[in-house]
Every structure is written in C-alpha cells, then in structure tokens.
Amino acid sequence: MSRRAATLAVASVLVLVLALVGSLMPVPYVALMPGPTSNTLGTNEKGEPLIKIEGRRTYPDQGHLNFTTVTYRGGPGGRIDLFSALRGWLDGDIAVVPEETIFPKDESPKQVDEENTRQMRDSQQSAEAAALNELGIKVGTQVVVDSVQKGRPADGKLRPGDEITAVDGVPASSVPAVTGQMAKRKIGEPVTVTFRRSGKEDKVTLTTVAAPDGRRAVVGIVLTDQYRFPFKIDISVGDVGGPSAGLMFSLAIVDKLTPGPLTGGTFIAGTGTITPQGQVGPIGGIQQKMIAARRAGATVFLTPKDNCADALAARPDGLRLVRADTLKGSISAIDAINSGKGEVPSCASR
C-alpha cells in the first residue's frame, strides 16, 4: 500500500471514530415531542371520571374536550446524545431546545418536578374558580401557608396548610391584604398571626427579620390564595404537571354543570393557562400539542392568542385554530361552531 493510501485509510478511520464518539456524546439539549392527550369529559388511567363533582347537580356530558401535553427526552442525569439532537432538529414533530429552557441552572430536576406539580395543583384551583365564576356561583377565598422557610421566625410555629385568618387583628382577606399589613411593621418588630389548623384557631407572636433585600420585615412564610368552593370538584390526571390544562378543565366543569353537551359532537382539543377571572394565558410546546391533538382526532384546537403566530406557522392539516382569549369567549366560540351562527375568533384574524 502506498504511503498516500495508508494516510487516507488512517484519516478515514479517525473520521469515523470521531463521528461515532461525537454521535454518542451527551449534549445539553432537550427533545420535546407530542405527548398524550386526555379527554376532560372522560376517565383517567384508573377508569375513574377525570373530573368528578359531588354536592351539586350535574348533567350528562359527551364528546371531547381534550387537554394536550408535551413529553421530553434529555435533561440533567439523562442527556441525549449528539446524534439524537441532530435527528430531532431534522424532524418536524420534535423541537430541540437548550436544557436550561426546561431545567433552569439554579434548580435541581427534583425542584423542577415539584414546581410542575405545584403549577398543576394551582391551575386546577384556578380552573375551578373560573368555571364557577363564569356560572355565577359564589366562590370564597382563604389565605394559606404554602411553605415555611427554615431558620426564619415562623419555622416550627406555622406549617404548610395553615389558614391565616388575621395579622395583628386585621382579617386576612387575601395575600395582598396580608403583605400590606406586614409592610406596616419595621424589621425587628413583633407581629401577631392568627391561624386555623385542623379546624382550631390559634395565634402566635413572631419577631420579624429582614428580607433578603434588607428592605422589608418578614417572618419566613410563603402564602397562597386558596378557594372555598360550595361543593366538591375533584380533578385526577395522574402524573401530569404544569399549568397549561387550565382552560380545558374549566370548559369541562362548565359542561358538567349545565344542561346539554357543550361540544355538540365536535372533537375539540386545546391548551392555555386560566386565571380565576377566566383570562387565558400562553403556554409552551404549542407545535407538539397541536400534533398530539390532531393525531387523537381533534378538528378544532383552542389556542391562546399569544401562541397564535407560532401555531399558524406549524398548524397540522385538518386542524382549525380557534383563538382563546377568555373562558367566556371560548364557550361562545364553541357555541358558534355548533350552531353555524356568530363569530368564531381565529388565529388568522387577531
């Protein structure tokens, strides 16, 4: 073999080895793919109603109001290799994004999972409140301890789940009301917190300390507004996190509490966060969620207005995009689709 041929052979082997090593090399990217869809009017993995209402008259419902999800591969401790990332970039159904998009550098995977679980819990509460507000059913509120910071004055005195009923004798009607009352205290001053735990009311006096910014007096608790509903609503979705199913939960609750099927036989899927006032907010992974919806059989997809541009650019054939600004507007749009009368807001006409 000539020297030139030998050199080319060695070079070729090196290129192949480097290509192989590179293809197996973990990279800090995450591949987002279409995930399962679930019918909020149907049953969960255990065969139980996904949304169960007790203590209030409900009506037979049928059809599909599906929420959509995104699955992923990769992340800290299980990174995808370069070959998988390249294949994802070439696949129109997959989005390859930087790892920190899903797993912020200052949070562990466990913290990300816990945050997703918290967001799902909060979205269910907001969805329930939005549905009842839409139907004119009165909803009460209460201020609850979400977490207690270690080493702070409240540590060992208050617990997650405690209902805060008053601060220095002033009723705690909302989280802003509590923070407003706390703002009146200087660092190092005492504050008396009245709380309810397991049905019993008690109070504790705590000496405030400085917040991390050094400007505010705090006792080391994180508060959240929870809602008191006049009847029981139970949403069971299994191992699904995040806030993006809020709109579809609200629609299903409205459907169950009102006569006649809301869908009118149309297979409707969608996504969007929801506030207790019924405002719909944007989500991530719109492309993968539309693909999942169309594969499941959906012909109408409710799309938050701020996701419309991206949705239009990647809309699957046969899927009609209906712009969702509010819960009330989404209900009106579905009614218009069913009746053939009235305006149906479109992503193409913002």
Task: Map tokens 């509490």 to a residue.
Answer: 257
Q: What is the dihedral of CA 74, 274, 254, 302, to 10 degrees?
A: -60
Burial of 221 (0-12, 13-18, 19+ CB in 10 A): buried
Task: Map tokens 């009165």 to a residue.
Answer: 138
Which residues lie closer than 8 Å to 120 by C-beta, 6 or more apart? 237, 240, 241, 242, 243, 245
* Position 122, amino acid: D
From CA 164, how far away is CA 54, in angstroms rounded? 27
Catalytic residues: 244, 289
DSSP-derived pairing of the beta strands 190-197 and 163-167: antiparallel
From CA 42, how far away is CA 81, in angstroms rounded? 38
Rg from Cα positions in the chain: 26
Residue 233: C-alpha distances to residues 66, 99, 214, 249, 326 (Å)? 18, 36, 42, 11, 21
From CA 217, how far away is CA 184, in angstroms rounded? 9
**Share in percent of the chain as helix, strand, coil (round to 5):** 35, 30, 35
Q: What is the dihedral of CA 256, 257, 258, 260, to 10 degrees?
A: 20
DSSP-derived pairing of the beta strands 163-167 and 170-171: antiparallel
